[in-house]
Every structure is written in C-alpha cells, then in structure tokens.
Amino acid sequence: MRSALIVLMLMICSAPAAIAQTLQPILQTHAAEISKPSRRSVGETLDAITRSSLPQATAFLEQWSEKNIWQRDDGVFFLGVADGNTLALTDIDTQATSSAPKANYKQLKPNGGVRRLIGTALVQFQLIDPDLPRRETAVASIARRPEAAQLAPLLASIAAETDPALKVRKTQLANFLSARFADEPADRIAAINSLATDTSVESRAVLNQILLVKPGVARTQPDGNIAAIHDPMDAPDAYYTALINEDLAPAKQTTADMKRTLKSNIVDGRIAGFALAQMNDLETRKAAYAALATDGLVPVLITEDLRDASLNNHVFYDLYDEPNAEITAAAHRVLGTVTSRVATAQVADLTLDALSLASIFFLAAIGLAITFGVMGVINMAHGEFIMMGAYTGYVVQLFVPNYTVSLIIALPLAFAVTFGAGVVMERLVIRRLYHRPLETLLATFGISIALQQIAKNIFGTQARPLTSPDWLAGAWVFNDVIQISYIRIAIFVLALMFLGLIIYILKRTRLGLEVRAVTQNPGMASSMGIDPDRINMMTFGLGSGIAGIAGVAIGLYAKVTSEMGSDYIVQSFMTVVVGGVGNVWGTLAGAAMIGFGQKGIEWLNPSNTLAAQTYMIFFVILFIQFRPKGIVAQKGRAAGD
C-alpha cells in the first residue's frame, strides 16, 4: 500500500504541466480559512491541498509559511514580493509574472502555530522531491521538530529514496518517530528495541522523552503507569511544601508568624491567659498559641508530629506521561543498555585522547631525554627548538603551496635546521659548562629567551598558520562518542616511527653503540678510541633535530607562536624525569603516564585544563619521592648522577 502511494505521488509530481490540474480552485474553496487561518481549523484546508498532490502545492505551502502569499481584492491568491508600493507577483499555477499596486492586495501572515502545521503538511512533498537538497531539508526539519503526523510520509518515502546516506538517515528518523508515535504498541516496542545499539544523543533523547514523568501527590495511589513511589520521610520539609503547593495541607508557621499572631491576640496584657512576661519562653509561646487554636482564634500550629501525620496520609509518586507500562519498561531496558554502551565508548574515547596526548609528549620529550640522559645537560631551550621546527614548516608553506609536498619537505628540513642549531649551541655554549648544571640551566634559559625574541622580531607576535593537508583534515568518527582527528592519528604514527628509528639507531648503528658507551662509562669509552666530545655534539644535535620534527607535527594542530615551546618544556621535563633519564623506553612510559594522568584529571574536572596540569605536577613530585630514578632507571653515568 505504501509503495503504491509513493509511485502515485511520484507520477503526479512528475506529470507534464499541460495535463496538471490547477491549485487556485482548491484555494478559492478554502479562501476564508487561508485568509484568516486558525490552528484548530486549518487542518481541513491543508488536507485538501495535500490531497491534490499538485506540484505547485509545494511552492504554495512554502511561500504561505514564509508570508509571501498575497490575496487580491477579488480573492485570487498570488506569490508576491513587495518592492515599495508595488508587488512583484507570480501566478500560482502558470508561474506567469506581473506587477501591481500593493494597495489592491492583502498579505497573508499565518501565526507560529499555523506555520508549524503547514510545515508538517509540506514534509510529505519535500520528502519525495526530485531535488536532493530539498529532501535533506525536509529530513532536517523532521529531526528538529518531530511530530506524529510526519511518521507516515517519512515511512512512505524510504523505499523510493535514491541517496544511500539520506536513506539511512530517513530509516533512523523513522525508528525515532515509531518509538514515540507508532499506532500499535508492538511497533513502538520493536522500534525502541532497535535503538539498543544506537549511542547517538538523538536516540537517548527519544528514550528519555518516552520516560518523562510528572511528580504528583494524592490521598490514595492513582491509577496509571506509576514510575516511582517516594517515601516522604526522606525529605519531610520538601514533601510538606509539595502538599502546601497542592492545597492539601496548611502552611507551616514560622517563629515570626507565631510572634505576629500572638501579638495580635493580646487582651488586657495577657495572651490566652498567659502573662506577657512569660512570652520569652518558646514552650510558653507554643502553649499560648495552642490555647488560641483550641478556641478557634488561630489556625492549628503545625508541629513536626502533625506534619509527619499529614505526610503519611498522602502518596507521593512519579507518573509516566506514557500510559503503556510495557513501552516504558522496554525504554528503561534499552536506555540502560545504551547508557552502558555510551560509558564504554567514553572510556575508549578518553583512552584515544590520552594516547594522542602521550604521543605528543613523547615527541616533545624524546630529544630532551637523549641529551639529558647522555650529557646530563638541563636544556631549558629545548622548547625553542620545537618552536624553530614549527616556524620552519610555516616558512616552507610560504614557498610551497601544496601542503602535502610542503609537509614532506618541512620534516627533514626542520630536522636539519634544528640539528645545526643544536650543534652550534653545543659547540659555543654547552661544551664549556659540562658538570656545571646551575650555569648550564641559566645559560640555556637565557638562550631560550633570546630565541623567543628573535622569533618575535622575524614573525611577529601573532600566531602563524601551519596548515595540514586535506587528507589530514577532519576526524575518524567511530560513532557519536568516539572520534579522533586525523592529525592526532598522524602524530601518533609519527611517534611510533621515531620510537622505532631511535631504537634502531641506538641498538644497530655505530653511532648508537658509541652513544651507549659514553652514557655508561665515558672514561672507558675514551680509552677505546671514542671521542666523547664528538658524541656529545652529535647527540645534542640529534636531540635538537628530533625536537624540530616534533615542532612541525605539533604545529599542525596547535598555534605556532614564539612562546609555543614554553607550553611543552614543563611536560617534556616531567616525562623525562618520570620515565627515567636517558632511556627511550622510560620516556615512552613517562609520556604514557603523564598523558593518561592528565586526561584522567581533565575528565574529573573538564572545565579547567590548567588545573589538570597543576595536579599532574603535584603527582609527579609525589611520584619521584618514591621512585627518584623514574619508571625505567638508567645505568651508568646517568644513574650515578
């Protein structure tokens, strides 16, 4: 039946204009209602227009809703646009255009309620419109304001839908509407059960709509679909206030109310036989008030016993808006399943975020781990090497507009630039300050300030864009809860590549062998013909070069400014110290601990990222008290130091 209806509507909508019927006679039949529509009575008019299935009905309904329908003095309707005192008119049936004085026409202005009904009637035309954007607009309109009347035309349009993505969306919306508005309870329950695997916000909103409750109070338990019965003794004052609001109990007197009442009942210097001098005592005041109440002069004093008795004589309940208990039971069961799935998905999403942050910290810290572990140098300018790498990528993009090619060029170039800068810094400054950690710290801190100022002088203080290629745009979306940007995935992959590359260099190359020898015993390495100064230079350059590559990667999603290195220097040192100085695996473990720890704290306090970083620093301070050499302790000179 639905398929036949769809075919019929499509045939009518696609029929040639020569054999199409005209809409104006139908409009004239209902001219009075169209001219002054009412939400209660406009339904018959809308039914007549939609039953015509004429293609021009869609345009009329749209323009009527947009207040672009004008009625001539003789009652004929036109599509019109005002231009001063003149109207640009379009015939509803023939589409012929003309102009006329505005004074001879009246603009139709349906109110908000009527426009909503027009929109509902318009949906059945738009859902099968040949134009895809119009169909998408109709579906979006249903999603924004779902109504029972939209279910039938939506179901009828699914089979004929040619766009795969829109067909899936229509099916999803049909499930949502069926869960709330289907005629048969079995259909509603089936639709509700189909939402068990849907973790979208819309799905949960549908289930929560079905489970809406209204609180109530009565002397006896009412009939209907009861959601819960409450014990008023859990919060007696609040529940007694509910009784007062429902006019089921008198208001409870306050101390001030009692005083005012007693003052108004003073007779010959006494209140109900009690002397005024006795009124300083609370119990006496209560006794006087009780005596007045016994004589019927004042309302009965609401004591806690009377309050509790009144509460126990009433039933406090929550009543479902949905009268069918089977439907609410199904919604409760499915909502529990969906909530569990959402919680699992949130844990997975938090894990992905933590892995992403850990990979960033690893990239930022691995160079520092190498220089700090081998040379024992506290390089406060390490963050500025990250900044230099990011600016190198920005400069490359100025000359190479293809972002993919520029990225391929920028990575090795950033390594070369920062490698060279690291070698120069080691030769000119660091080599003269070995075994003098305080002087080294002050010198590198001064160099970091100088590098920041140089960057400001060259590039200015505003953030510069380091644009990622199109294939890194967007995010990998698993569902409404789990998603991760492609840039972060790329950084994670880059971190894994560098982990493998550094391990290969340290374990499989002559340079790595010499670095490990100098790390464990520089004196013995020197006696074996290894030049420690050259190894220190190469090691410092390697660590600086890796920081430059990290700068390019970080710059793809973070701001590129002269101060960007300061955002990562603290985390880099925390990563190195927690993981274990000079150990690649320790740096990886430290990055994981810092990344997961910070994301966990952010999850507990999502409104304050700075607080999460502060708490993480406190945690690191406590951690190194119990394990000062880090997760993976280094051997040799680093351990001795």
For every residue of 596-633, which 3-state class applies, written as one string?
Answer: HHHHHHHHHCCCCHHHHHHHHHHHHHHHHHHCCCCCCC
Residue after which a domain boundary falls, among 170, 196, 222? 196
Q: What is the pLDDT of residues 545-555, one digit of tens each?
A: 888 988 898 88
In a domain, 487, yes or no: yes
In a domain, 462, yes or no: yes
In a domain, 305, yes or no: no
Residue 421, C-beta contacts closer than 8 angstroms, at least 6 positions apart: 385, 388, 544
In a domain, 202, yes or no: no
State residue 388's pLDDT score: 92
**Is residue 193 predicted with pLDDT exceeding 90?**
yes
Q: What is the pLDDT of residues 88-98, one digit of tens each?
A: 888 888 888 88
Residue after which a domain boundary falls, among 300, 323, 356? 300
What is the Cα–Cα distance from 108 to 511, expressed in whole angstroms? 85
In a domain, 244, yes or no: no
pLDDT band at 374 (very low <50, low <70, confident <90, very high): low
Q: Point out which residues pair with 270 in neighbouring strands.
A: 267, 275
273 with 368, same domain?
no
In a domain, 33, yes or no: yes
Q: Do residues 545 and 335 make contact, with C-beta atoms less than 8 angstroms apart? A: no
The torsion of the CA quartet 94, 95, 97, 99, rounded to 10 degrees, works out to 80
Question: Positive or negative, the Cα torsion across 501, 502, 507, 508?
Answer: positive
508 with 608, same domain?
yes
**Is residue 249 predicted with pLDDT exceeding 70?**
yes
172 with 257, same domain?
no
589 with 468, same domain?
yes
In a domain, 552, yes or no: yes
295 with 352, same domain?
no
pLDDT band at 373 (very low <50, low <70, confident <90, very high): low
* Nearest C-alpha neighbor of 247 from the set 294, 298, 310: 310
371 with 276, same domain?
no
354: its two tokens: 């933590």
pLDDT band at 5 (very low <50, low <70, confident <90, very high): very low
Residue after which a domain boundary falls, among 181, 196, 211? 196
443 with 562, same domain?
yes
State residue 3's pLDDT score: 40
Average of pLDDT values for 144-154? 84
How many Cα neighbours within 13 Å face the side chain of 525?
23
What's 60's DSSP letter?
H
CATH of the domain at 402: 1.10.3470
Average of pLDDT values for 318-326? 92
pLDDT band at 14 (very low <50, low <70, confident <90, very high): very low
387 with 271, same domain?
no
What is the Cα–Cα distance from 189 to 193, expressed in whole angstroms? 6
State residue 8's pLDDT score: 34
395 with 281, same domain?
no
**Is residue 574 predicted with pLDDT exceeding 80?**
yes
In a domain, 336, yes or no: no
290 with 360, same domain?
no
Domain ranges, residue 284: 253-300
Q: Model-level pTM greater than 0.75?
A: no
Structural domains in the chain (count): 3
Q: What is the pLDDT of residues 66-86, one digit of tens each?
A: 888 888 888 889 998 888 888
266 with 370, same domain?
no
138 with 260, same domain?
no
